[in-house]
Amino acid sequence: MPPSGPPVDPPGRGVDVVGSLLGTPGTWAVVGLSTNPARAAHGVAAYLRRLGHEVVPVHPDAPVVAGVAGVRRLADLQVRPDVVDVFVNSARAGAVVDEAVAAGARAVWLQLGVRADDAVARARAAGVVVVEDRCPAIEGPRRGLG
């Protein structure tokens, strides 16, 4: 069961990080986004676009999704991502979190069930906001977004 209430970062300050990330238009790099509309990443990316975010697919095949050319890895991005949304399994997530930090991401969002505790600790130590075990397409409507 997900934690109750909005996640806060830094802990105890009462900042609704999720609401801020979703409600402030920015560039989201969605790692694992492919052209397969049956995949959860596809629906979440469409939701983020409806909120006004620029969504860049990050996938080894570098597909074009919704008219946007993808990149193979975060290091190939032409812009600094505001948020890196991680749609890979937990075994690969730690490396993606580390790549997000190296790419200058302001925040990393780990989808439901994705864990990378050591990498999350490194990201937070580097000043990167981390949202864990949440889905934008669930959290946004809870806040009246989209």
Reported as a single tens digit per residue, the pLDDT across 31-69 is 999 999 999 999 999 999 999 999 999 999 998 999 999
Q: What is the CA radius of gyration of the chain?
A: 14
**Spatial separation of the C-alpha atoms in residues 63 and 129, rounded to whole Å:** 28
Number of structural domains (the chain) is 1
**CATH number for the domain that contains residue 112:** 3.40.50.720
**Spatial separation of the C-alpha atoms in residues 146 and 123, rounded to whole Å:** 29
**Spatial separation of the C-alpha atoms in residues 139 and 8, rounded to whole Å:** 14
In a domain, 134, yes or no: yes
Mean pLDDT rounded to a whole number for the chain? 90
Give residue 76's domain range. 17-142
For residue 7, the model assigns a pLDDT of 43
Phi-psi region of 56 (alpha: psi -120 to 50; beta: other; left: phi over 0): beta
List 31's β-bridge partners, or say none: 58, 86
